[in-house]
Amino acid sequence: MTRRPMLALAAAALLAGCGNSTPKPASTLTEAQRDTALARSGLPGSAAVGKALEAAGAEAGRAAGMDSLAR
């Protein structure tokens, strides 16, 4: 092989490796879905995560009630 075809082959191989490399997300779950799955697991601390989710939900409900009173 002469030098020119070898360079063309090397350039083609280099360009083929530079394709569209869009990073994929580590997970397709939302944060709430991940937290719920963690709370339902048997891992240490999962009960605390569950209680925190319950407290956050209760507070969100109270806040929504306060918002509806202003209307």
pLDDT of residue 46: 93
The structural domain count of the chain equals 1
pLDDT digits (tens, 9 = 90+) for 31-71: 889 999 999 999 999 999 999 999 999 999 999 988 887 66
Q: What is the four-CA torsion angle of 16, 22, 26, 27, rounded to 10 degrees?
A: -120
- 57: in domain: yes
- 50: in domain: yes
pLDDT of residue 69: 79
- 63: in domain: yes
- 15: in domain: no
**Domain range for 64:** 45-71
pLDDT of residue 14: 64
- 7: in domain: no
3-state secondary structure labels for all residues of 3-40:
HHHHHHHHHHHHHHCCCCCCCCCCCCCCHHHHHHHHHH
